[in-house]
Amino acid sequence: MLCSAGASEVLVEGMKLVSATKTARTTEVCFVLLGQFNNGICHAKLSWRRSGSHASVQFDGNRVLEREERYGDVVGFYHTHPDGFVQPSDRDVRTMGAWSFSFGKPLICAIGTSAGVQAWLFEPGADSEEQCARAAKFSGNWFVASLR
């Protein structure tokens, strides 16, 4: 009986994994990027994962604000586009512009799809964002983007 119960638990755990993977593919996920800029390179840890709906995801704005006030290490945001389009949406542009302006510093908007990661730099008060030359996500939730 114990063996059988154990096998059934494994099966249930396996099903949970499958269902979690399906969810990750069809809903947007976002992280706050905590790190630093140095010599045109952004190095950050993807932190505080949150998931949302198919087309949008919200992060905890108050927590981000408190973190920035206390440590000054919020360098941007990473989120996924489950449909795969690799451009910031109009909402992304408005949101990033507002955060960059309110922090008074440049912020990275990184977008992940099944094809990889792209990133844009939003300067406070700038008319348009600048695409980073290269961006990549590494195991352990590390993120690097090169501006040039």
Q: Which residues bind Zn ion (CB under 5 A)?
A: 89, 92
Given the complex with Zn ion, which of 92 and 129 has the nearer CB atom? 92
- Smallest gap from Cβ 124 to Zn ion, in A, equals 20
- Smallest gap from Cβ 135 to Zn ion, in A, equals 14
Give, as one character, the DSSP assignment of residue 93. Answer: H
Given the complex with Zn ion, which of 15 and 86 has the nearer CB atom? 86
CA distances from 60 to 67, 93, 128 (A): 11, 18, 25
Given the complex with Zn ion, which of 16 and 91 has the nearer CB atom? 91
- Smallest gap from Cβ 89 to Zn ion, in A, equals 5
- Smallest gap from Cβ 111 to Zn ion, in A, equals 6
Given the complex with Zn ion, which of 89 and 131 has the nearer CB atom? 89
CB atoms within 10 A of CB 63: 12
Q: Answer yes or no: are the C-beta atoms of 54 and 89 closer than 8 Å.
A: no
Q: In the block, which residue shows the tokens 């989120």?
A: 79
Q: Which residue is nearest to Zn ion (CB)?
A: 92
Contacts for 27 with CB less than 8 Å, ≥ 6 apart? 51, 52, 53, 54, 57, 82
Q: In the block, which residue shows the tokens 């922090």?
A: 103
